[in-house]
Structure 1
Amino acid sequence: HASAWASGFLNYYDACSEGLRAASPLLKFGGPGDSFHPLPKSPICWSLLRHCYNGTNFFTGETGVRLDYISLHKKGGGSSLYILQQEVEAVEQIQKLFPSFASVAIYNDEADPMVGWSIPQLWRADVTYAAMVVKVIIQHQNLLISKPNNTINYTLLSNDNAFLSYYPHYFTQRTLTARFQMNNTKPPHVQMVRKPVLTVMGLLALLGEKQIFAEVNSSEGESTQNSTIGVLASVHTPSEMQPSDSWQATLLMYSSEDNRTSSNNSTITVNTTQFPRLRELVYVTYYLDNMQTNPYLKWKKLGSPDFPSPEQFQQIRDAEDPVATGPFPFPEGGILTLKQDLPIPSVFLIHICARPRSVPDQVTGVRLIPLTKGQVIVLWDDGCVNSKCIKTFEVEFSPDGKAYRRINAKNTIFTLWVYSPGSSVSGFYRVRAIDYWGKAGLSSLPVEYVEAFE
Structure 2
Amino acid sequence: MGILKGRSAAVVLFSLLRLCATVSGTAVACADIAVDVQTAVRPLRHFWRSTGFCPPLPHTQADQYDLSRDEQLNLAYVSSVPHGGLEQVRIHWLLELVTAQVVEGVPRYNFTNLDQLIELLWQNGLRPGFELMGSVSNYFTDFEEKQQVAEWRNLVYLAARRYIEKYGLDYVSQWNFETWNEPNNHDFDNITMSIQGFLNYYDACSEGLRDASPTLRFGGPGDSCHSYPHSPYCWALLEHCHNGTNFFTGETGVRLDYIALHKKGGGGSLPILQQEVETVKEIQERFPSFRSLPVYNDEADPLVGWSKPQDWRADVTYAAMVVKVGEQRGNSTIHYALLSNDNAFLSYHPNQFTQRTLTARFQVNNTQPPHVQLLRKPVLTVMGLLALLGETQVFSYIVLEGSATDDTIGVLASTHKSPVPGTSDSWQSAILVYSSKDNHTVPSANHVTLQLSGFSGQKDLVYITYYLDNNSSNPYQLWQSFGSPDYPTAKQFQQLRNLGEPQVRGPLPFPSEGTLTLKVELPVPAVLLVHVCARPKATPEQVNGLRFIAVTKGQVLVVWSDRSVLLGLFCLVVLEISFSPHTFVFFTENLDVCGFYRVRAVDYWGRPGEYSQTVLSGPSGVPLWFR
**Does TM, normalized by the shorter one, top 0.5?**
yes
- Alignment deviations for residues 336-371 of structure 1 (CA, whole Å, 9 cap, x no partner): 100111000000000000011101101011111111
The aligned residue for residue 342 of structure 1 is: 522
Match of 1:108 among 297, 300, 319: 297
% of aligned pairs identical? 60
The aligned residue for residue 418 of structure 1 is: none
Q: Indicate whether 1:440 and 2:621 are aligned.
A: no
Deviation at 1:223, TM superposition (A): 5.8
Deviation at 1:276, TM superposition (A): 3.8
Distance in 2, Cα, partners of 1:448 & 1:138: 44
User: Aligned runs of 1:48-127 on 2, under 5 Å?
Assistant: 48-127=237-316
Match of 1:245 among 405, 408, 425: 425
Counterpart code for 2:584: A
Match of 2:379 among 177, 181, 197: 197
Distance in 2, Cα, partners of 1:246 & 1:380: 23
1:92–1:452 Cα change, 3 Å:
closer
Question: Between Structure 1 and Structure 2, how many residues are aligned?
Answer: 430
The aligned residue for residue 499 of structure 2 is: 319
Deviation at 1:241, TM superposition (A): 5.5
Counterpart code for 1:405: F
Q: Indicate whether 1:141 and 2:321 are aligned.
A: no
1:122–1:4 Cα change, 3 Å:
closer
User: Aligned runs of 1:2-401 on 2, under 5 Å?
Assistant: 5-142=194-331, 144=332, 150=333, 152-220=334-402, 224=406, 227-240=407-420, 243-386=423-566, 387=568, 388-400=570-582
- Alignment deviations for residues 121-169 of structure 1 (CA, whole Å, 9 cap, x no partner): 0000000000000011111114x1xxxxx2x222111111120000000
Asked if the contact 1:361/1:384 (under 8 Å) is kept, the reply is no
Distance in 2, Cα, partners of 1:406 & 1:317: 20
Distance in 1, Cα, partners of 2:538 & 2:274: 46
Distance in 1, Cα, partners of 2:442 & 2:416: 35
1:269–1:16 Cα change, 3 Å:
same
Counterpart code for 2:215: L
Distance in 2, Cα, partners of 1:369 & 1:84: 39
Q: Which moved more, 1:23-32 or 1:89-98?
A: 23-32
- Alignment deviations for residues 10-39 of structure 1 (CA, whole Å, 9 cap, x no partner): 111111111111112221100011101111
Counterpart code for 2:577: V
Deviation at 1:405, TM superposition (A): 3.4
Asked if the contact 1:362/1:384 (under 8 Å) is kept, the reply is no
Q: TM-score, normalized by length of structure 2?
A: 0.67
User: Aligned runs of 1:394-413 on 2, under 5 Å?
Assistant: 394-400=576-582, 402-406=583-587
Counterpart code for 1:374: G
Deviation at 1:261, TM superposition (A): 1.1
1:249–1:4 Cα change, 3 Å:
closer
Distance in 2, Cα, partners of 1:221 & 1:377: 45
Asked if the contact 2:467/2:527 (under 8 Å) is kept, the reply is yes
DSSP-derived class of the 1:17 partner: helix
Distance in 2, Cα, partners of 1:360 & 1:32: 44
The aligned residue for residue 156 of structure 2 is: none
Counterpart code for 1:198: L
Q: TM-score, normalized by length of structure 1?
A: 0.92
Counterpart code for 2:321: M
C-alpha RMSD of matched pairs (Å) = 1.6
Distance in 1, Cα, partners of 2:403 & 2:362: 46
DSSP-derived class of the 1:249 partner: strand
Counterpart code for 1:349: L
1:45–1:398 Cα change, 3 Å:
same
DSSP-derived class of the 2:207 partner: helix
Q: Structure 1 unaligned runs (5+)?
A: 145-149, 408-420
Distance in 2, Cα, partners of 1:118 & 1:109: 18
Which is bigger in relative contact order (C-alpha 8 A, separation at least 6)?
A: 2
Counterpart code for 1:284: I
Q: Structure 2 unaligned runs (5+)?
A: 1-143, 145-185, 187-191, 622-627
Asked if the contact 1:238/1:246 (under 8 Å) is kept, the reply is yes
Asked if the contact 2:267/2:439 (under 8 Å) is kept, the reply is yes
DSSP-derived class of the 1:85 partner: helix
DSSP-derived class of the 1:214 partner: strand
Deviation at 1:240, TM superposition (A): 1.9
